[in-house]
Amino acid sequence: MSLRNYLISAFVLCFVVEAAWAQCVYRQPWRARRSSHVSAVVQCEVPRPMPRMVFDDFVCEEDGFIERIRWWGTVSDPEQLNRTYVITFWRDDQECGTLERVYEACVRPTARLVGPDCTEERVYVFSTCIPPFLAIIGPHWVSIAEDDERSIQPNEVDFRWSGRREIRRCPAFSRDANGNRFPLFDNCDEERNDVSFEMLLRGDMNCDGVVSVGDINPFVLALTNPAAYQAAFPGCDIFNGDCNCDGQISVGDINCFVSLVTGP
């Protein structure tokens, strides 16, 4: 039996139910050429800005888990790509600012080159699973920052988060260790930026916002021919298929993917 037929029969055999675990999906992907913004913290265990930490807002349309994130940025050296990054979520204050931190995870993402920005820096897209965060419906804030202590150059900037237009809801900003807040101005046109990131739906291989039988063929393609998958679904993250979160798309993801498609 071919892999595709196996997946379809597994799907058909299971009773199709709505997945019990709703997920919060939010898309604010990089669009070419905006410059990037320093975002670093002292270390995972001390998530204090060093020297600046960037925040942007996002909205969950319903209560749901966030289990996979991707973001775009530049690095001082390719060695920095897979170093540790700190993801934090913050409560929204209803006035385009943050209240307290409600989540923190230290992750080592996968990264892939996507192209130059307006300053000719190389922009990479980073992707990683995170321990699930249950986000309630409504606005939240996210910060993604370099873990400076584990970076390739402690006390130096090694990561910048790529800017993005149009600004959605509230403008992104950065904060220093004293709590001072700064707007993000693009280096090229001096206009304000948001930053580039997405909260992704695990198992959604065709990026239509749901996990369904329609994801089976794209999953098989991702597994067997990643380049063809990227060409067919240029706006999608192939790592949505990394169901077991080991940083690779492989046969080890099949059972997990089937359980996502067929529900609990």
Residues that bind Ca ion (CB under 5 A): 56-57, 148, 151, 153, 156, 158, 168, 194, 204, 206, 208, 215, 242, 244, 246, 248, 253
Task: List 174's β-bridge partners, or say none.
Answer: 54, 182
Query: For Ca ion, which residue has the nearest CB?
Result: 151
CB of 103 to Ca ion, least distance (A): 18
Buried b (16+ CB within 10 A) or exposed e, 3-20: eeeebbebbeeeeeeebe
Minimum separation from the CB atom of position 96 to Ca ion (A): 9
**SS3 (DSSP) at 7:** helix
- Nearer to Ca ion among residue 153 and residue 224 (C-beta): 153
- Which tokens hold the place of 76? 């001082």
Handedness of CA 224, 226, 231, 232 (dihedral sign): positive
Nearer to Ca ion, 148 or 198 (CB): 148
Count the residues in the chain: 264
Nearest approach in angstroms of CB 5 to Ca ion is 19
Least distance in Å: CB of 88 to Ca ion?
Answer: 16
C-beta closer to Ca ion: residue 56 or 237: 56
Q: Nearer Cβ to Ca ion, position 187 or 244?
A: 244
For the CB of residue 187, give the shortest distance to Ca ion in the complex, in Å: 19
**Which H/E stretch holds residue 176?**
strand 173-176
| Cβ 241 to Ca ion shortest distance, Å | 8
The Cβ of residue 78 has, within 10 Å, a number of other Cβ atoms equal to 12
* Spatial CB neighbours of 1, under 8 Å, sequence gap ≥ 6: 9
117 vs 253, which CB is nearer to Ca ion?
253
Beta carbons within 8 Å of 88's beta carbon, 6+ residues apart = 47, 101, 103, 104, 105, 142, 143, 145
Q: Given the complex with Ca ion, which of 92 and 204 has the nearer CB atom?
A: 204
